[in-house]
Amino acid sequence: MKNSLTIAFIGGGNMAGAMLGGLLGNLCQPQDILVVDPGEATRAAWDARGVVTAAVACEALSQCKVWIYAVKPQVMQQAIEATRPFLQDDTLVISIAAGLPTTLLSGWLDQAAPTRTTRLIRCMPNTPALIRQGITGLYATPGVPAADRQRAQDILSSVGEAVWVDQETQLDAVTALSGSGPAYVFLFIESLIAGGISLGLDQEQAQRLALATLKGASLLAAGSDQSPARLRENVTSPGGTTAAALNRFAQGDFAGLVQAAMQAANDRAAQMAQESAAAAQPAQDSGKK
């Protein structure tokens, strides 16, 4: 590992893959990255790209300045306990797990070294990171040095935008909006394609039209001085086709449905935190410090 920025991903699945895809050749070279993942096929995919891999926690972790925990919340405690012996006092730890609060994570990280306070940042990225079009919400625990905040921001900015929140609970809202959000957009794209086909287009035509519409409208909204509401009005001729469609959306309370769906995601994040706390195992003293 040669770069001053060396990153370990603990968990090399979908989200690590999205972030790695954006980081490689950009902020980091393959040899600057370590992926710890028990999956043979997962590791083989990263080996093929020149990334250093390990099936289990190993000494190489202690050389990585930044650790990114990218495992499912249900296995987070186990993953932390296995890796914790290699944690250094100045390691910057980033968790991308939905729901898991920093109090729980800090408890697991610092259990074997009560005098240590791990530098911990919790964040919520999204899968467009794969094409460097992601957006990530970040929350830093008190005491994280400014240089580490900047380092986390640099990492996440290399795969898209980064937005800091002051209150940790806001990360559940970020999860409900941009973390899970790509799935809502994909569902909308799927629905537009199905609608186009049912109205007589073929699959390829419907898909091209749907994708270009989403892309064009998003870029227009992102680059415009006008609000999304104003841009919607610009499309909507009185008594025209768009008004007919929007009236039908309103009858089904589309906005209310989106709000309720996001509330469900937000509530599920809080519930996952409770489940993880309830399922937490008694301390395993695997720390070497």
Ligand X SMILES: NC(=O)C1=CN([C@@H]2O[C@H](COP(=O)(O)OP(=O)(O)OC[C@H]3O[C@@H](n4cnc5c(N)ncnc54)[C@H](OP(=O)(O)O)[C@@H]3O)[C@@H](O)[C@H]2O)C=CC1
Ligand Y SMILES: O=C(O)[C@@H]1CCC=N1
For 72, the 3-state DSSP assignment is coil
Interface with ligand X, residue 124, by CB under 6 A: yes
Q: Which two tokens stand for residue 80?
A: 């932390």
Could you say which of ligand X, ligand Y, none residue 158 binds, taking C-beta under 5 to 8 angstroms by partner kind?
none
Check whether 73 is labelled as a binding-site residue. Answer: yes
Interface with ligand Y, residue 95, by CB under 6 A: no
Interface with ligand Y, residue 178, by CB under 6 A: no
Interface with ligand Y, residue 276, by CB under 6 A: no
Interface with ligand X, residue 42, by CB under 6 A: yes
Distance between CA atoms of residues 33 and 114, nearest Å: 29
Could you say which of ligand X, ligand Y, none residue 111 binds, taking C-beta under 5 to 8 angstroms by partner kind?
none
Q: What percent helix, strand, coil does the chain show, rounded to 5? A: 55, 15, 30
Interface with ligand Y, residue 100, by CB under 6 A: no
Q: How many chain residues touch ligand Y (CB under 6 A)?
A: 4
CA atoms within 13 A on the CB side of 88: 13
Could you say which of ligand Y, ligand X, none residue 23 binds, taking C-beta under 5 to 8 angstroms by partner kind?
none
Phi-psi region of 11 (alpha: psi -120 to 50; beta: other; left: phi over 0): left
For 41, the 3-state DSSP assignment is helix
Interface with ligand Y, residue 98, by CB under 6 A: yes
For 13, the 3-state DSSP assignment is coil
User: Does residue 167 contact residue 198 with C-beta atoms inside 8 Å?
Assistant: no
Check whether 72 is labelled as a binding-site residue. Answer: yes
Check whether 142 is labelled as a binding-site residue. Answer: no
Residue ranges of the binding site for NADP(+): 10-15, 70-73
Residues that bind ligand X (CB under 6 A): 10-16, 36-39, 42, 70-73, 75, 78-79, 82, 96-98, 124-127, 179
